[in-house]
Structure 1
Amino acid sequence: MESKHNRLIGYLVYDAQRCITKSLETTLKPYDITPGQWNLINQLDQAGELSQKDLALLTHKEQATITRYLDTLERKGLIVRNKHKTDRRAHVVCTTEKAHELIRTVLPLTVDTANRLIEGIDQHDIDTFVNVLAELKKNAEIISGD
């Protein structure tokens, strides 16, 4: 018997997000990169050189989480940290050529995964869903004070 909790919108969104993440993990696994790492190098590649603090703000992640991601990505040769030009205490992060190659290879695969996720769903329904998610997020931010 299914509990009422399993029909609550928060649970349904969480459960869908978990499954979507798993599909992306499957796509990325042959390239030894996680969805979180993928998001970070994608965001960084699009934004250009950023401080760790700005990267945390852009990706909505805690700075400690960003540091762990960056440590891993640096070991893999996908990012480099350089001294900030004007603030000697700060570093800026940028992607490497190896990251650019990875992005060129993997981006079409992630786009294909995203397209497969919406197969059989009418565009009107997708548009409605996106709008509803935006409203849910806005309401949640009001509740949480963010």
Structure 2
Amino acid sequence: MESKHNRLIGFLVYDAQRCITRSLEATLKPYDLTPGQWNLINQLDQAGELSQKELADRTRKEQATITRYLDTLERKGLVVRNKHQSDRRAHVVSITDKARELIRVVLPLTADTANRLVEGIDQKDIDTFVTVLAALKKNADNITGS
């Protein structure tokens, strides 16, 4: 028998994601960053230099969206784009010292936001939730062929 929750999972995940995003937006707002921009800076900090395509793949964003994010981050002095050494048509992106300093300041604040999100939730429940989300993602990827 189908549970009413089975029909609501997509909406509940979407709604929770929007609320979580708003909490991150509030944390990042004083630093003039969006969650999408913050994600790119973190991806580049962790991976080093990446192509725009690699950034799009890692973040599951369209390349046009990545280009807009990078244009903004470049204007803010947080990333630089350089010609790819082996593919003259491509660019590689890396963060600047200014971005590294911003990460040093902002990362503890985003970690605090993440901790506040799970306040009052038993670790066992969080572990189960993470497992269920991974299964949902896998099933969704199977449906779309991703």
- Give the TM-score band, short-chain normalised: over 0.9
Aligned residue pairs, count: 142
Matched with 1:19 is 19
TM (norm. structure 2) is 0.94
Is there any run of 5+ residues in structure 1 with no aligned partner, and where?
none
Matched with 1:110 is 110
Amino acid at match of 1:114: A
Matched with 1:28 is 28
Q: Report the alpha carbon displacement of residue 89 of structure 1 after superposing the two structures with TM.
A: 1.5
Q: 1 CA distance for matches of 2:115 and 2:129?
A: 15
- Asked if 1:135 is matched to 2:146, the reply is no
Matched with 2:39 is 39
Task: Let me know the Cα RMSD of the aligned residues.
Answer: 1.2
Q: 2 CA distance for matches of 1:100 and 1:132?
A: 34
Matched with 1:49 is 49
Aligned partner of residue 121 in structure 2, secondary structure: coil
Is there any run of 5+ residues in structure 2 with no aligned partner, and where?
none
Cα deviation 1:15-70 (Å, max 9, x = unaligned): 00000000000000000000000001000111001111111111111111100000
Q: 2 CA distance for matches of 1:35 and 1:27?
A: 9
Q: Report the alpha carbon displacement of residue 102 of structure 1 after superposing the two structures with TM.
A: 0.4
Q: 1 CA distance for matches of 2:41 and 2:94?
A: 9
Aligned partner of residue 85 in structure 1, secondary structure: coil
TM (norm. structure 1) is 0.94
Q: 1 CA distance for matches of 2:143 and 2:51?
A: 30
Aligned partner of residue 89 in structure 1, secondary structure: coil
The range that moved more, 104-113 or 49-58, is 49-58
Q: 2 CA distance for matches of 1:90 and 1:119?
A: 44
Q: Report the alpha carbon displacement of residue 83 of structure 1 after superposing the two structures with TM.
A: 1.1
Matched with 1:120 is 120
Aligned partner of residue 77 in structure 1, secondary structure: coil
